Amino acid sequence: MRLRNKPWAKDKIAAYPHYVIPDPEARRGRWRELFGNERPIHIEIGTGKGKFITEMAKLHPDLNFIGIELYPSVLVSALDKLIENELPNVRLLNANAKDLGTFFADGEVSRIYLNFSDPWPKKRHEKRRLTYRDFLALYERILTEDGDIHLKTDNQSFFEYSLVSLSQYGFVLAAVQLDLHRSDVEGNVMTEYEEKFSAKGNRIYRCEAVRPRRA
Which residues are marked as active site?
118
Among 74, 75, 71, smallest CA distance to 90 is for 75
As a dihedral over the C-alpha atoms of residue 32, residue 38, residue 42, residue 46, rounded to 10 degrees, the angle is -10
- H-helix segments, the chain: 9-14, 31-35, 51-59, 72-85, 100-103, 133-142, 156-169, 192-199
Q: Bridge partners of 65?
A: 42, 90
Amino acid letter, 8: W
Q: Bridge partners of 152?
A: 115, 206
Q: Is residue 187 left, alpha or beta, with left meaning phi > 0 and alpha meaning psi from -120 to 50?
A: left
Q: CA distances (Å), 16 to each of 10, 36, 83, 92, in order?
A: 10, 19, 9, 10
